[in-house]
Structure formats: structure tokens, C-alpha cells
């Protein structure tokens, strides 16, 4: 494994402008957030465009909380199954089921 991301998997970079190797992005209706670790805080402030909220240093839990606070029951949530192993995906799914019961596609 490498921290360098192949061009075809640079979706977060394409969406946000952040070129750092660590981070999670979420887009909900008219709000968007990108979370990265402390290595990329300054870089995120420079590179992330539009009105993205930046969590830095951030965590997956903060992004999940952002999604939970900005969705309602029955909303659909998309995730790329090639970027999540099954364990984190189903842990995340469990949190949504507990709180909101949105549909994860």
C-alpha cells in the first residue's frame, strides 16, 4: 500500500482541490465539508475552493456527524464501495440506522 493515490481514485481532489493524501469529503444538498489530518491543515486552507467547510484536524466521526445533522429520514446517501472496506462502511451505516434511517446506496 502507498499513500500516493492513483489518478483514477483522486475523486476527493477533483471535488475539493485538496491534493493531500489523507481526507474525507461529503456533499449534502447545498453544504459540503472536507476533513483532513493535521499534516494538511495549511494546505487545505490554500487549496480547497468554493465554500467547503474544513475540519482540520478532522476525523471520520466529524464527517458522519455532519451528514447526520444535515440529512433527514429517508434521504439517500451514496458512497463509493471501492474506497471503503466493509467494516468501516457498515459501522457508518449502523450509526445512520440508529439516528436517521436514511437509505445508503
pLDDT in tens, 77-97: 777 777 666 666 566 656 555
Domain 7-99 architecture: 3-Layer(aba) Sandwich (3.40)
Could you write out the DSSP letters of every residue in the chain?
--SSPPGGG-HHHHHH---SS--EEEEETTEEEEE--GGGHHHHHHH--TT-EEETT--HHHHHHHHHHT--TT-EE---TTSS-HHHHHHHHHHHHHHT-PEE-
Cell of 46: 490554500
Provide the pLDDT for residue 46. Answer: 95
- Express each pLDDT in 28-83 by its tens digit: 888 999 999 999 999 999 999 888 999 998 887 888 888 888 888 778 777 777 76
**Global pTM exceeds 0.85:** no
Hey, where are the domains in the chain?
A: 7-99
Amino acid at each position: 500500500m502507498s499513500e500516493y493515490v492513483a489518478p483514477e481514485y483522486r475523486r476527493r481532489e477533483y471535488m475539493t482541490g485538496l491534493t493531500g493524501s489523507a481526507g474525507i469529503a461529503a456533499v449534502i444538498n447545498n453544504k459540503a465539508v472536507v476533513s483532513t489530518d493535521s499534516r494538511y491543515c495549511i494546505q487545505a486552507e490554500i487549496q480547497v475552493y468554493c465554500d467547503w467547510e474544513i475540519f482540520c484536524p478532522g476525523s471520520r466521526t466529524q464527517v458522519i456527524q455532519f451528514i447526520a445533522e444535515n440529512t433527514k429520514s429517508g434521504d439517500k446517501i451514496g458512497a463509493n464501495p471501492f474506497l471503503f472496506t466493509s467494516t468501516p462502511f457498515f459501522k457508518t451505516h449502523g450509526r445512520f440506522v440508529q439516528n436517521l434511517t436514511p437509505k445508503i446506496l
